Amino acid sequence: MSESRVTSRGGSACGREHFPLASPMLDDPRPFYARARRDEPVFWSDSLGLWVVTRYEDVCAVAKDASRFSSLDSITPKAATAPPPPELLAELMKGYPLLPSLVDSDPPIHTRGRALVTKALSLRRLAAFEPILRDIAERLVDDFLTKGHVELVHAFAIALPGNFIVDLLGLPREHLDQVDRWTTNSTAVFAGQDPLPSLLEHAKGFVAFQHYLADAIEDRRKNPRDDALSDIVTGAAALDPPFGVAELVNMLLQILFAGYETTAGLIAAAALELARDPELFAAARKDPGIIPSIVEEVLRTASPIHAMYRTALEDVEIGGVHIKKGERLQIAYISANHDEARFEEPLRFDLRRTAPNLAFGHGIHYCIGAPLARLEGRIALEVLTQRLPGLRLVPGQKLTYFPSATARRLESLELAWD
């Protein structure tokens, strides 16, 4: 733990300036978190109404301690005890209730759900994924290769894991664009940062997404087939007690979000790194064997999951700060992944690092899909480096990031090649 210090709720410099979903933090949060780690490693955020934990050691301590820190509501800054506005609640009531699932649950609910998905994403399936992923990646590049330029986020970074996850679940590939729009709606509803009229529109999309998934679940109950969704539905029916439709809908929402939105952030960030570093690109093109190291360093520096949330189940001290039972915490993975005490010169992109990062979390909620994400990242970079010689940034573009309480992804990335 960090040295003992006194920090109060509200009034601190870091607490007043902590706005992770707005510029300048949204553009680049690293300078802010570097100052926080030095001056206030655990501070009260006035904007979010919770404690922010910034150092690697402290983030690990919270993430792995499921007995003292609950993962309920772990994907949103706001606890479920804070009800949405009546108009928004009325719209959400048209769908299925928001129940704890894989990411935002504690044992034993978490244990039951994780076992289902672990089976669906087994190493047996993973061994067969590589040729499928490579075929998708090659075909996506075929679509824009001769143009000499592309907006890569939607044409490739989202499309590669997106096409794969809908294939894995057995959903029609032509539904991916709609699923992506619905996922955006879901993210906006959970973030809760938009004006009420916008939130109401997002809620309508979120409810439509829920009903779409419920229909797919019912179809698999009647007509199981060889896909991961059938495995999940069949396995859920065999549990005692069995999972209901609402529980499965919530699980699928998280699988889809984690299955492509976060991997899209990884691929886009990796493409950006290669496009602005010609020497790194040339090295990866010449020796694809270094690409797994590139993926790992991008996971650290970009941190596609930048933060998660916990609730203290008892009075506890973290980093010398007393946190009361029931208070909320943000564990800032992107800050922990740049902690100078763990990573020497953390702003330097260094393929020789050996210390493990926290891009996939820590403890019982360590990401089930980590092997798949690493595989997708490796294949994406192998295809991009071999097929797009001289990859570079299109001049004059402003890089912006999608505002999310948990995920960090470029909104667009314009690239050109020889």
pLDDT in tens, the chain (418 residues): 444 444 557 668 999 999 998 999 999 999 999 999 999 999 999 999 999 999 999 999 999 999 999 998 888 887 665 678 899 999 999 999 988 888 888 888 888 888 878 877 765 667 788 999 999 999 999 999 999 999 999 999 999 998 998 888 889 988 988 988 998 888 788 777 788 999 999 999 999 999 999 999 999 999 999 888 998 999 889 888 888 999 999 999 988 887 788 899 999 999 999 999 999 999 999 999 999 999 999 999 999 999 999 999 999 999 999 999 999 999 999 999 999 999 999 999 999 999 999 999 999 989 888 999 999 999 999 999 999 999 999 999 999 998 888 999 999 999 999 9
**What pLDDT sits at residue 80?**
61
**What pLDDT sits at residue 271?**
98
**What pLDDT sits at residue 259?**
79
Distance CA 298, CA 199 (A): 32
**What pLDDT sits at residue 256?**
85
Query: Taking the model in full, what pTM does it have?
Result: 0.88
Write phi, then psi, for 386 (nearest 5 degrees). -80, -30
The DSSP secondary structure of 165-203, one letter per residue, reads HHHHHT--GGGHHHHHHHHHHHHHHHH--S-HHHHHHHH
**What pLDDT sits at residue 339?**
98
Write phi, then psi, for 16 (nearest 5 degrees). -75, -25
* Fold annotation for 13-416: Cytochrome p450 (1.10.630)
The DSSP secondary structure of 51-110, one letter per residue, reads EEE-SHHHHHHHHH-TTTEE-TTTTSSS-TTSPPPHHHHHHHTTS------SSS--TTHH
Q: Where are the domains of the chain?
A: 13-416
